[in-house]
């Protein structure tokens, strides 16, 4: 072996190995650490009607830096879990952890039929069981200012109109000022200034032409036509059963009847503002 190769190998060996995926306790609810906090976001993500429970744990002696209400900074070592249940049985538990270098890792565990044991799911996910790939995790979690989406000032402390909260929780991680900027579609809300957040959302929706062309459309679609949910592309995409049209594009295959009803009611009561 050449000296150069030996050198390269030595350098590689010096890199800290990625920590092994932690084993998941069989009954997380009972055994999660004493610092684990169970929480529920006010504006949860719809996941085809599955029941969910969530926990977050910070390392002893650490705290969240809440200086910026819309971008809480979580300490290294923060861990969060989300468990999905169907008919009372756990089917999947997702896990996020902030590593020593400040980056985040995303893992997900799949439960056996009996709901007694969970094993790490492969990186490409298990499409036939609806278990997302690592790339899907990133598509939703790294689009927002901070990858922890359900434990935030908006989700825990901010009173929003139901439709706005719904759009924040189900769409805002992709449709915000940072991710997908070319679309100019802001559905994320703000805890620092809820009024300004709502205004940015209205400006990006009301009467705005859309670039998206539904297959069956005859005229140029508008994102939201105030007073007319049936003419609003936003609603059409939430209601669609076509995988290329449906929003969100990931994690949902059954449209959410309650979410759609909230958004329809909100559009019905909008008064047209001539400036928009
Ligand atoms: C379609 C978007 C989407 C995908 C895909 C997705 N998540 Fe999430 N996830 C969310 C949203 C939104 C929340 C917060 C709202 C809630 O929990 O209802 C969340 C919450 C979580 C939580 C609880 C901590 C937090 O951020 O509030 C964990 C843990 C988690 N997700 C892990 C994962 C992992 C791991 C993957 C991939 C295997 C994944 N998620 C895929 C959108 C997504
Ligand atoms: C995982 C990221 C992601 C999530 C979550 C998501 N979207 Fe999208 N959305 C996209 C992408 C990417 C596009 C652009 C491509 C396209 O139009 O299909 C888009 C496009 C759109 C458009 C068309 C924009 C235009 O006028 O050109 C609308 C309307 C829309 N989304 C609404 C929503 C709604 C409502 C939700 C939540 C119920 C949502 N989206 C959730 C990624 C996302």
- Is-contact 255 239, C-beta < 8 A? yes
Task: Determine the pLDDT at residue 122.
Answer: 94
How many Å apart are CA 256 and CA 261, to the nearest integer? 9
Is the CB of 132 inside a 6 Å radius of any atom of ligand 1?
yes
Closest residue (by CA) to atom 42 of ligand 2? 174
Q: Which of 46, 175, 214, 256 to mutate to test the pocket of ligand 2 (most atoms within 8 A of CB)?
A: 175
pLDDT tens digits, one per residue of 148-186: 999 999 999 999 999 999 999 999 999 998 898 889 999
Task: Determine the pLDDT at residue 116.
Answer: 82
Cβ neighbourhood burial of 253 (10 Å; 0-12, 13-18, 19+): exposed
Task: Determine the pLDDT at residue 24.
Answer: 57
Find where tokens 């805890």 sit.
191
- For residue 96, the ligand 1 atom closest to its alpha carbon is 29
Which residues line the pocket of ligand 2, CB cutoff 6 A?
A: 139-140, 170-171, 173-175, 180, 183, 185, 210-212, 223, 233-234, 237-238, 247-250
- For residue 221, the ligand 2 atom closest to its alpha carbon is 26
Task: Determine the pLDDT at residue 177.
Answer: 87
How many Å apart are CA 183 and CA 72, to the nearest integer? 25
Write out the chain's pLDDT in tens, 276 residues: 444 544 444 444 444 444 565 655 544 544 455 557 889 999 999 999 999 999 898 988 999 999 999 999 999 999 999 999 999 888 999 999 999 999 999 999 998 898 888 888 999 999 988 999 999 999 999 999 999 999 999 999 999 999 999 999 999 999 998 898 889 999 999 999 999 999 999 999 998 988 887 776 657 789 999 999 999 999 999 999 888 899 999 988 899 999 999 999 999 999 755 444
Task: Determine the pLDDT at residue 31.
Answer: 45
């Amino acid at each position: 072996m050449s000296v150069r190769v030996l050198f390269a190998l030595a350098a590689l060996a010096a890199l800290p190995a990625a920590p092994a995926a932690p084993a998941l306790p069989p009954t997380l609810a009972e055994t999660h650490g004493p610092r684990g906090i169970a929480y529920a976001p006010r504006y949860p993500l719809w996941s085809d009607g599955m029941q969910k429970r969530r926990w977050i744990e910070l390392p002893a002696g650490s705290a969240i830096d809440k200086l910026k209400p819309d971008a809480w900074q979580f300490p290294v070592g923060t861990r969060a879990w989300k468990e999905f249940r169907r008919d009372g049985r756990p089917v999947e538990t997702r896990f996020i952890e902030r590593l020593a270098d400040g980056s985040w890792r995303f893992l997900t565990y799949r439960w056996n039929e009996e709901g007694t044991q969970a094993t790490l799911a492969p990186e490409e996910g298990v499409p036939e069981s609806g278990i997302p790939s690592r790339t899907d995790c990133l598509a939703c979690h790294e689009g927002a200012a901070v990858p922890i989406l359900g434990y935030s000032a908006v989700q825990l402390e901010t009173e929003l109109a139901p439709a706005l909260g719904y759009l924040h929780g189900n769409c805002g991680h992709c449709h915000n000022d940072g991710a997908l900027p070319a679309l100019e579609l802001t559905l994320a809300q703000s805890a620092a200034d809820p009024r300004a957040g709502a205004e940015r959302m209205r400006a990006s929706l009301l009467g705005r032409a859309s670039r998206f062309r539904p297959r069956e459309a005859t005229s140029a679609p508008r994102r939201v036509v105030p007073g007319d949910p049936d003419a609003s592309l936003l609603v059409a995409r939430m209601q669609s059963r076509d995988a290329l049209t449906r929003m969100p594009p990931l994690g949902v295959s059954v449209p959410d009847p309650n979410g759609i009803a909230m958004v329809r009611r909100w559009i019905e009561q909008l008064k047209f503002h001539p400036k928009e």
